Every structure is written in C-alpha cells, then in structure tokens.
Amino acid sequence: MIAWRAGVVTECRARWDGACESTVALDGEDRTVRALSYPHLVGEVVPGAHVLLNATALLRGLGTGGYALVVARTDALVPDPLPGPGHLVKARYTPLQAMVLGVDDQESPHHDVLRDADDLDGLPVVVADLHSALPAVVAGARAAAERLGRPAPRVAYVMTDGGALPAWFSRAVDGLRSAGWVEACVTTGQAFGGDLEAVTVHTGLLAAHHVVGADLVVVAQGPGNLGTGTRWGFSGVAAGEALNAAGVLGGRPVASLRVSGADARDRHLGVSHHSSTAYGRVALSPADVVVPRFAAELPGTPQDLTADPDAASWAALTDRVRDQAAELVAPRGRHTAVTVDADDALLDALRTSPVRLSTMGRGLDADPAAFLAAAVAGVHAVMSS
C-alpha cells in the first residue's frame, strides 16, 4: 500500500508556515526528488539529513504537488514535545497521529464559551467543493465590501478533512493569512495544523463565530480532491453536509457552485456534477445557491459548449449554468437561486489575490469562469448581510 524510499537531503528549498520543501537524493537511485516535510511532525530537515519517504502518490503521478512526503529522519530522533494541554488526536491510529489542543477541548480556554454554544446568529457561511475556491470567495467578499463602503470582512476558513489533512500543505492559507485576507484557519475532523483545531465542522463553525469573531466563514476541504468519476465517490460530497451544519446552527448557508468553462470532462462543464449531487441530494438545509451571470464582454471565450461553434460564448455558458442550477432551486429543488453579475470589475478583483489562483491545473486566464463562480458567492454573502 505504501511505496517507501530512503535518501539524503541535498538542499532545503522553499518554506512557508508549517512546511518545508527540500531536494532528496534517493538511496540506490541516480536521481533526486522534491520532498515535503512538516517540521511540527517530523522535526527540522537539513542538508545531510537521512530521511524516510512515502513516495506512493508521487510514483503514481497523483495530486500531491509532485512531492514525496518525509515520514521521519532516520539519523536523529525528534525531541519530545513540551508538556501541554490538549488531548485531541488527529490522523488517529496512523503512524503520524498527533495530539493537539482543540478549541473545544476541556483544557481549552475557549471550552466554557463553546460548551453550550449552539447558534451562529445568522453568520453567512459560504460552502465550496474545492480548496481553490477559497481565495476567489474572499476576493469577491472584499470587492463587495469595498463597493458598499464597508471594511473588509473578517474571514475564518473552516477546513474539512476531505483533501489534505495538514493545513500546512496549503500555500494559499499561508498567503491569505499573511496578507490579512483570512483571520484564522480552523481545521476540523481529522484535519490539523490550523490556528484552531476542532472536533467537527459544527464546532469549527461555532469557533469561527464565538472565538474568531468572523463576519464571514468559508468552508471547503483542504488541497486535493478525491474523485472517482462516479456519482457518489468524491470527497466533495461533504459540501452538502457542511451546508446542513451551517443551517442547523442558525447560520446563513450559501452554496458556491463549482463551475468550469474549460474542463474537457462533460460532467464538470458548466456546473460540476459534484455540486449537483452535494447540494441537490445531500444538503437538506435550504441555502442560497449563487448563480453567476457572465458578462458578454469578458475576455477570452469558454470552450465549445455545444456542437455549434457560435454557441461557445459567455452567454452560452451563462445559459448552461442557469439551466443546470435550476435543478437545485425552487420550484424543483429546496434551495433559493440568487443571480449575481460576474463582470470585468469582479475579474479585476480576482487579480488582486495575494495568492496564485489555480484549479485543476488551470489558472485565472485559462478558466476564469471557475473563479468568477466562486467570487459571486462571496459577493452575495456580503451584499445580503
């Protein structure tokens, strides 16, 4: 199940909060690989260090960013962590299970606040399928606040455990937090490494409200999305459950559609089947489904959406998305459709993102529809507050 490799670190490369990239020369092979380590788990990795690597996903060409993952140094033990409070175990019963202080833990200074907390008091909660939607949602929210003459919203990111478990893997979270676009990351379930740790999405949402003091919450899985090409076999199913959590806690659930104008797979063209299943079948709590109306003068052209080349236009994509979203909203579905303009001004707002925008290997210029569809959810969350 695991492809193991051993090697020696030859170079330390990029670093960001909680993560270190290095080059490792593999034992018995005339080649090097890029490796990623989490110092909080395996200690500091320096040139000359001997390391054990998990190379499974790298060898299979799966979406780990092209990394082998450092499991341990084999030439030095990491010192024991200092004694401290907290008994939440994340990545439970794996060789790298780690104990953290949960925001809802009995030892937490916030335990008394969260012990009986049961209400989000109408806090807007934008739920998205992919991690790549996070900066786009926040860009849209900030643009809307500026338009209204308000301060930028205080944003909490609640990270679910459908993708990467360590929040440290995400350069987007590090960059958004450093730029002041995200106030705090709350890791929930088996995910870990956030500013706050929580047992469930529910306590993560309550912590975002009662501890972080967020004006807006964005819920999405960490980087990496598991999909199988089947109706139910994808990690984004949890987006529907996140809407339910926001609804049952008295928040204002907002569904961000996963949209593409460039995906070669028909099931992801226009509104992805991931959104259709998660919001149409899993989400039982009514939510606002934000439908983008793409301006005709946007640069570029979406790929052909029909057999007619003349139909490959922003208007055609708007029609396709509107028709697909109609299955989710009244009178056919339980949700409410909210149409928001996706225009040049919003595209300009996306270009101000302090982190690189990329989804499924495509940047803003290659698939602007994907990021505009996420941004309009942020716009609506602020405009309707």
* 111-168 pLDDT, tens digit each: 999 999 999 999 999 999 999 999 999 999 999 999 999 999 999 999 999 999 999 9
For residues 202-220, average pLDDT? 98
Quickly list H helices, 201-356: 201-207, 238-248, 273-277, 314-325, 344-350
pLDDT tens digits, one per residue of 55-87: 998 888 876 668 999 999 999 888 888 888 988
Supply the pLDDT for residue 381. 98
The answer to whether 38 and 77 have CB atoms below 8 angstroms apart is no
Task: Residue 37: name the closest of 22, 57, 48 by CA.
Answer: 22
Q: What is the pLDDT of residues 79-112, one digit of tens each?
A: 888 888 988 999 999 988 999 999 999 999 999 9
pLDDT of residue 305: 59
pLDDT (0 to 100) of residue 263: 81
The SS3 of residue 347 is helix
Task: Please give the Cα distance from 25 to 23 (Å, whole number).
Answer: 7
Kindly state the tokens that stand for 241: 């459950």
Q: How confident is the model at residue 303 (pLDDT cuts 50, 70, 90)?
A: low
Give the whole-number percent of the chain exceeding pLDDT 70: 96
| CATH classification (class only), 4-73 | mainly beta
Q: How confident is the model at residue 304 (pLDDT cuts 50, 70, 90)?
A: low
For every residue of 298-320, DSSP letters joined together read: -SS-PPP-SS-GGG-SHHHHHHH
54 bridge partner residues:
4, 69
Per domain, the residue ranges of the chain are: 4-73, 115-383
- The CA–CA distances, whole Å, from 143 to 3, 132, 213, 216, 376 equal 46, 18, 20, 14, 10
Average pLDDT over residues 243-256: 98
Q: Are 114 and 353 in contact (CB under 8 A)?
A: no
CB 188 within 8 A of CB 199: yes
Residue 39: pLDDT above 80? yes
Residue 306 has pLDDT above 70, yes or no: no
Mean pLDDT of 313-323: 92
**How large is the average pLDDT for residues 311-335?**
91
pLDDT digits (tens, 9 = 90+) for 189-200: 999 999 999 999
Mean predicted confidence (pLDDT) in 220-226: 92
- The residue-averaged pLDDT of 271-293 equals 96
pLDDT band at 309 (very low <50, low <70, confident <90, very high): low
Task: Report the pLDDT averaged over residues 279-288.
Answer: 96
Output the average pLDDT for the chain.
93
**Residue 312 scores a pLDDT above 70:** no
Q: Specify the pLDDT at position 169.
A: 95
Which residues in 43-64 are b (16+ Cβ under 10 Å) and which e? bebeeebbbbbbbbbbeeeeeb
Whether 245 has a pLDDT exceeding 90, the answer reads yes
Which tokens belong to 216? 């807006």
Q: Which residue has the higher pLDDT, 231 or 176?
A: 176
Q: How confident is the model at residue 308 (pLDDT cuts 50, 70, 90)?
A: low
pLDDT of residue 302: 74
Q: Identify the pLDDT of residue 65.
A: 66
